[in-house]
Amino acid sequence: MMHHKTLSVMAIKKSFYIAFYFILATFWLPAAGQSTHFKHGVVVSAHPEASAIGLEILKAGGNAIDAAVAVQFALSVVYPNAGNIGGGGFLVYRPAHGTPVTLDYREKAPARASSDMFLDPAGIPITQLSLDGALAAGVPGSVDGMVQAHKRYGNLSWRQVLEPAIQLAKIGFRITEKQANELNHFQERFIALNPGGSPLTRQVPWKKGDTLRQEALAHTISLIQDKGRNGFYVGETAQKIVATMQQAKGIISLEDLKNYHAQWRKPVIGTYRGYKVISMPPPSSGGAALIALLKSVEAYALSRWGFQQDSTVRLIVEAERRVYADRATHLGDPDFVKVPLNQLLDSAYNAGRLAGFSFEKASPSSTISAGAIAPVEKEQTTHFSIVDKDGNAVSITTTLNGSYGSGLFVAGAGFLLNNEMDDFSVKPGSPNMYGLVGGTANAIEPGKRMLSSMTPTILEKEGKLYLVVGTPGGSTIITSVFQTILNVIDFGQPIQEAVSAPRFHHQWLPDEVMTEKGAIAADVRKKLQASGYVIKERGSIGRVDAILVLKDGILQGGADPRGDDKASGY
């Protein structure tokens, strides 16, 4: 049985609890995309129901980690395309008093995985094998990650922080218009991959306001509530996972599940214009790449040039081009490969990478390779940021990889499995589903964690908490966090403006600048195109959720209007 913390508040009776929850959901949540100011605590997440639950935990005496655990499990109920117990993620925690830490609960390759498992006899990648169905799934890490985080830092009992998600799954919640559209779009995929049916399929189309109830998922989370990690990695749920694997020709075994453990790691730390940047180390490429980007542009007068002006865009694109080239070659699971982290974070190294770049013309990616150092994702991730009344802060990015992951539900358990195996270099030099190219450092090996772009990040100013930030978005995660930080520090934008501002992205290969509608003014685009930049407009980039601490200590929440994201606090 899991160790239970002593309750700091009286247990909430179920009937009162349910009523209280719905009151919160109705009255405590601001409109999507609305900037909010709170004194005691704030939760910013991808779904209003999850934000309401996080707020409830804070108001019941829970700290940032208690709220984070509650939000993680709530998102598995209300945001199944990315919130999960069948995937994994990364946590950056800055206690108000103490040393910042990170927790890696990224998925792992099963023991039977091999470097050629997604190749045909001629060595050509079979794309769908790493995207759809059982073979695409890595060993899930979310449950063990939450267990470890709570055991080390939680204040309320494990039972109390999981109860909201269980009730939400049982009672159900009303889906948003965006969710109805997504569920209808994915019906054929769910049906094809789950011949026995799934919790998200039905004969009539979904519509806004429909109630989604998930009894099987409620039972699964109840097992985790009762037994901790043993409620997922051994026993009934583990057997259901393996039975689904066997039926769908997957390779995750009972031993893979039993042997999975999240890992505490030291954060990567850098500075930018006097601010301390605390972020996620490998196997996430996010922290190293973010700090490299910040160091690359630090010597330039961005604030004088202005937001998305010609010189600003050129500098950012050229920095991104070079950092993503390094990412493809040098980054992977540090338990398996030597990652030259110190050099990748070095100010002189990153400044040198931009030496020779011209403000007059684009540097073709064909002429850019990884830096000379001694002898690589789908966009439906989700992020949430939390600060409690004591100033403890947590930044978490979690994912199934593609939207609704592998599309495969664990039969009888009510949750989706990830398709994170596509985040490995299926074949070095071949792009993954995001067009990201990887090398041998990120090749598939049994027990190895796949490289990620997730970039949960916390900034300090003069030793005090300043900014909590992160986003989903696959390969665009790093650049979205990067540009949001620049928006706040260099361009002086309030947090909601910084989060809402249109974004652009470059990732070395393919050699094109991807832009949202409204990003980079027409006259600036024309100059860039004349200089050799290929600009392609696409849909939204990222869904940043952030919290800014103002000078008077007030917490300013920024929820991305690109989704149903909400900031909730008190």
Place of tokens 């949202």: 516
Using 50, 70 and 90 to split pLDDT, how confident is the model at 28? Answer: very low
Helix boundaries (H) for 172-251: 177-185, 187-193, 215-227, 236-247
> 356: which 2 tokens?
């020779």
Instruction: With beta carbons less than 8 A apart as the criterion, state whether 311 and 359 touch.
Output: yes
What pLDDT, on a 0 to 100 scale, did the predictor assign at position 376? 39
Instruction: With beta carbons less than 8 A apart as the criterion, state whether 489 and 404 touch.
Output: no
Q: Residue 289: what are its φ and ψ, rounded to 5°?
A: -70, -40
What pLDDT, on a 0 to 100 scale, did the predictor assign at position 246? 97
Tens-place pLDDT, residues 296-322: 999 999 999 999 999 999 999 999 999
What pLDDT, on a 0 to 100 scale, did the predictor assign at position 426? 75
Q: Residue 420: inside a domain, yes or no?
A: yes
What pLDDT, on a 0 to 100 scale, did the predictor assign at position 140? 98
536 Cα distance to chain centroid: 25
Percent of the chain with pLDDT over 70: 89
Q: How far apart are CA 451 and CA 457, in angstroms?
A: 17
Tens-place pLDDT, residues 213-264: 999 999 999 999 999 999 999 999 999 999 999 999 999 999 999 999 999 9
Q: Residue 462: inside a domain, yes or no?
A: no
Average pLDDT over residues 169-178: 97
What pLDDT, on a 0 to 100 scale, did the predictor assign at position 77? 98
Using alpha carbons, list the distances in angstroms from residue 201 to 85, 190, 209, 212, 213: 19, 7, 16, 11, 12
Is the pLDDT assigned to residue 150 strictly greater than 80? yes
What pLDDT, on a 0 to 100 scale, did the predictor assign at position 430? 58
Q: Residue 357: inside a domain, yes or no?
A: no
Using 50, 70 and 90 to split pLDDT, how confident is the model at 368? Answer: low
Q: How far apart are CA 46 and CA 77, in angstroms?
A: 12
Q: Would you name the residues annotated as active-site residues?
A: 381
Q: Residue 201: inside a domain, yes or no?
A: yes
Q: Residue 144: inside a domain, yes or no?
A: yes
Residue 387: which of 266, 497, 549, 269 has the closest Cα?
A: 549
Percent of the chain with pLDDT over 90: 79
What pLDDT, on a 0 to 100 scale, did the predictor assign at position 97? 96
Q: Which residue has the higher pLDDT, 351 or 255?
A: 255
Q: Residue 314: inside a domain, yes or no?
A: no
Average pLDDT, the chain: 90
Q: Residue 451: what are its φ and ψ, rounded to 5°?
A: -65, 145
Where is average pLDDT lowest: 124-128, 220-224, 369-373?
Answer: 369-373
Where is average pLDDT lowest: 305-309, 361-365, 391-395, 540-544?
Answer: 361-365
What pLDDT, on a 0 to 100 scale, did the predictor assign at position 110? 98
Q: Residue 253: inside a domain, yes or no?
A: yes
Q: Residue 360: what are its φ and ψ, rounded to 5°?
A: -95, -30
What pLDDT, on a 0 to 100 scale, did the predictor assign at position 369? 59
Place of tokens 């990830």: 418
Q: Residue 180: inside a domain, yes or no?
A: yes
Q: What is the DSSP annotation of 489-527?
A: HTT---HHHHHHS--EE--SSS--EEE-TT-S-HHHHHH
The whole model's pTM is what?
0.91
Tens-place pLDDT, residues 52-63: 999 999 999 999
Using 50, 70 and 90 to split pLDDT, how confident is the model at 432? Answer: low
Tens-place pLDDT, residues 394-422: 999 999 999 999 999 999 999 999 999 99
E strand or H helix at 276: strand 275-279
Is the pLDDT assigned to residue 207 strictly greater than 50? yes
Q: How far apart are CA 294 and CA 226, in angstroms?
A: 45
Q: Give how many domains the chain has, as a whole number.
A: 1
Structural domain boundaries, residue 112? 48-86+106-260+403-430
Query: Considering Cα of 285, then 291, then 292, then 294, what sign does the dihedral take?
Result: positive
